[in-house]
Amino acid sequence: MEREQLERLLGGGDDTSSAALAALRAGASYVVWDGTTSPKSLATVYGRRLCHTLRRGIETSGLARAVQRLDLYSRPVRLGQIRTADGSWIFMLFLDADGSTLVACTGVRQSQPGAARPDTC
């Protein structure tokens, strides 16, 4: 997917997609993977991540909303990722199967280099 097309998809206006768009325009790396997956399975996985991040005090953006949107979406989704230039945030993108619509977007702050990481769930 071309960077300009991804920028258009992120122009929807919520805070998380706006932050992902700003990161992309500031030189963030990105990837949109081929293939699709079930939005219901992703809702389950990201629901667990929401619980984990809340327990650990990890800063997220739009995660609860993304889980809700994935749970309500009935068609397969494609995954994409944006990593800020400084590596401080990773945004996950959930697109419709042909990549023409943004279904949901979430971001998670990454731990600082050298910071201790808590045990996983």
Q: Residue 42 phi/psi, 5° resolution?
A: -65, -35
Lowest-confidence range among 58-62, 67-71, 108-112?
A: 108-112
Q: What is the mean pLDDT of the chain?
A: 91
Residue percentage of the chain with pLDDT more than 90: 88
Cβ atoms of residues 63 and 19 within 8 Å = no
Model pLDDT, residue 112: 53
Mean per-residue pLDDT, 15-39:
96
Q: Which of 87, 80, 98, 103 is nearest to 33 (CA)?
A: 80
Residue 95, pLDDT above cutoff 70: yes
pLDDT > 70 fraction of the chain, expressed in percent and rounded: 92
Q: What is the CA radius of gyration of the chain?
A: 14
Contacts of 7 (CB under 8 A, 6+ apart): 21, 24, 25
86 DSSP 8-state letter: T
pTM beyond cutoff 0.85: yes
